[in-house]
Amino acid sequence: MDVRGSGTKLSDWIGGRSIHPITPIVGGFSKIPPMSEVHEIKHELEHAREKAVLLVEQFFRQPIDFERKTNHVALVTEDYSFLKGVIKTSSGESVEESDFARHLDEVVMPYSNATGFTFEGKEYSVGALSRLVLNQRALHKNTREELKRHLKVFPNNDPFTNTLAQAIEIVHCIDYSLELLEGLDLKPEKPGILEPVESRGVGCIEAPRGTLYYSMFFGNDGICSKAEIVIPTAQNLRNIERDVKEYLPSILHRKREDIELGIESLVRAYDPCLSCATHFLKVKWK
């Protein structure tokens, strides 16, 4: 909770609130974060870092006991940025952000209301595990130094280690935030004025759960007329199904409740969105 609390405070400071921030606008910020709070935020982040390292150690103790060859997809950058980069895969492809959609195929599940995606016709994985598999070298130097023992786990194809990867990324984000706050000097400024024109914008970012692709269409009035969004959970759906199919035979000797728990743990290791992580499993025993 200390780790979560420090992140919430940082989001409040920058964005005006912790969820769906309101101060970032087109061309800048409607309100510059007050510098008077920097010292307190740094202190909280330093305290949270100690707890985050303990989280890493806790998840590190979990043994690797399931692996299936997977094509990992993530943005690769020089500074482990979540906002820009070149999309790369563990199978060797390199794709510009604007071309990402050309490599994706939407798949409608005939037995479900869910929609999944394939990359070049095959299932793939996105998320913290994929980011560490493809871009571990770009982590903050302090993170790499302190967690070098834990980072030896990667690369791997065990979806259960996604939780460990997320914990490592928390330490990285704290280290990077502390570096940015050191010597920070924000001054009041007015956002730039942009004249709306008919246009299309394409972007690709790394959300906590994985790569998120979006395409926006705007008219001359500046109003968005069409939006296409490919979320991480939908991209992971086909891969989750394949993992469950491969994982299930190895736990069939367990009790029924333990089998169900094992499948639930596997699915939740992908950190699916809230609705997908709740009441998602119904087992029909024969």
**What is the residue whose two structure tokens read 């050191």?**
182
* Inter-residue contact 202 to 96 (CB < 8 Å): no
Report residue 223 as tokens: 């109003």
Is residue 226 within 8 A of residue 217, CB to CB? The reply is yes
Closest to 272 measured CA to CA, from 235, 222, 221: 235
- Do residues 161 and 64 lie in contact, with contact meaning Cβ atoms separated by under 8 Å? yes
Please, what is the end-to-end C-alpha distance for the chain in angstroms? 42
Both tokens of 266, joined, read: 């596997």
39 marked ligand binding residue: no
Asked whether the bond before 155 is cis by omega within 30 degrees of 0, the reply is yes
CA distance 216 to 231: 14
Tokens describing residue 116: 């999944």
| Encoded tokens for 237 | 């759906």
Cα–Cα distance for residue pair 186/31, rounded to 1 Å: 11
The reply to whether 273 sits in an annotated binding site is yes
C-alpha span between 10 and 4 (Å, rounded): 10
How do beta strands 224-230 and 210-218 pair?
A: antiparallel
- Residue 276 labelled as part of a binding site: yes
Look up residue 32 and give its two tokens: 């510059």
Asked whether residue 251 is marked as a ligand-binding residue, the answer is no
C-alpha radius of gyration, the chain, whole number? 21
3-state secondary structure of 203: strand
User: How many beta carbons lie within 10 A of that of residue 158, not counting itself?
Assistant: 20
Residues of the binding site for Mg(2+): 229, 279
Residues of the binding site: 229, 273, 276, 279
Residues of the binding site for Ni(2+): 273
Residues of the binding site for Fe cation: 276
